[in-house]
Chains A and B, each alone.
Chain A
Amino acid sequence: MIEKIVFGLLAFLVVVPAALAVTLKNVFHCALFLVLSLTGVAGLFAMLGADFLFVAQLLVYAGGITVLLLFVVLLSGSPKDWVVRQVNAQWIVGLLISGMFVGLLAAVFKQMPVPAALVPAVPTTAALGLVLIRDWVLPFEAVSLVLLAALVGAVHFSKGRSR
């Protein structure tokens, strides 16, 4: 019973701020609502027993990426961008396509097999570390290379013209 209440609250916390984040005019407010929605996703991870992902979501997403986003919102764009119309001419088509996605996916999910009774969640951080270091060590290193390339590329893009 209490699990259903918590799930309902978290679903509200994820979906409503996400809807506001894609519809509000002011991009700064959008980014702040994105923080709220990502925090709700972290709560869902905690309910699913993914303890390490809960912390990683809060640190990387709610802490890191959105702070970066807020910096760029403040550095780029003038206040007049925050009062003009925010959707392009094809927004109705976009709305129809995304609504179609929800309907089709819900119809598919209805036909999925009902899983067996849940076993109690156990901490997964140790198992996750073993997977990353032992089984998936090559993709792990590849991701670290991608991150390095992204850092160097970001510095290259944003350093401006050399004079």
Chain B
Amino acid sequence: MSGLFGYLLIGAILLALGIYGALARRNLLGVLIGIELIFNAANINFVALNRYLHPGQSLGQAAAIFVIALAAAEAVVGLALVLTIYRNFRTVLSENLNLLKG
């Protein structure tokens, strides 16, 4: 279990939990937490496949570094948007953001 299959399975479970969080949460911050979990699932897959299928190279780890940097950028912009939304609408629940609904 602790071979490549175990790591990939942990990545898949983390991806599924992140998708569930992003799809089902009402709270915008809960959605952001789900998206962070999805990024981490991708990182586990990158590093595990690099270690088991291409040992001696480090391209997979470099890709994981790019994912971490872009996740930081995403989190900063997303949290600033949540803060602005709360300031304007006084809510962080996604179904109350229906300004464009006819």
Q: Is the CB of A105 within 8 A of B62?
A: no
Contact code string B50-61 (vs A, CB < 8 Å = 1, else 0) = 111101111101
Partner of A53, one of B33, B65, B73, B77: B65
Contact code string A130-157 (vs B, CB < 8 Å = 1, else 0) = 0110001001000100110111011101
Cα–Cα, bound, A71→B79 (Å): 9
Partner of A109, one of B9, B20, B26, B55: B9
Q: Is the CB of B4 within 8 A of A112?
A: yes
Q: Is the CB of B27 within 8 A of A77?
A: yes
Q: How far is the CB of A132 from chain B (nearest CB, A)?
A: 6
Q: Is the CB of B77 within 8 A of A160?
A: no
Interface size class of A (residues with CB under 8 A): 35 or more
Q: How far is the CB of B77 from chain A (nearest CB, A)?
A: 5
Cα–Cα, bound, A118→B50 (Å): 12
**What A residues does B6 contact at CB under 8 A?**
7, 11
Q: Is the CB of B80 within 8 A of A158?
A: yes
Cα–Cα, bound, A77→B15 (Å): 27
Partner of A41, one of B34, B40, B51, B66: B40
Q: Is the CB of A98 within 8 A of B19?
A: yes
Cα–Cα, bound, A57→B44 (Å): 11
Interface SS, B side: helix
B13 within 8 A of A: yes
Q: Is the CB of B59 within 8 A of A153?
A: no
B92 — nearest CB in chain A belongs to which residue? Answer: A77
Partner of A132, one of B20, B40, B62: B62
Q: Is the CB of A109 within 8 A of B8?
A: yes
Q: Is the CB of B30 within 8 A of A157?
A: no
**What B residues does A143 contact at CB under 8 A?**
66, 69-70
A110 within 8 A of B: yes
Contact code string A18-54 (vs B, CB < 8 Å = 1, else 0) = 1101100001001100100110010011001110110
Contact code string B63-102 (vs A, CB < 8 Å = 1, else 0) = 0111011111111110111111111000111110000000
Given A41-B44, A72-B82, 17 additional A-B pairs, CB 8 A: A15-B17, A22-B18, A41-B40, A57-B43, A64-B72, A84-B26, A91-B24, A98-B16, A98-B17, A105-B8, A115-B3, A119-B55, A127-B57, A146-B70, A147-B73, A154-B76, A157-B80
Chain B residues packing against A (C-beta within 8 Å)? 1-10, 12-21, 23-27, 29-30, 32-34, 36-37, 40, 43-44, 47-48, 50-53, 55-59, 61-62, 64-66, 68-77, 79-87, 91-95
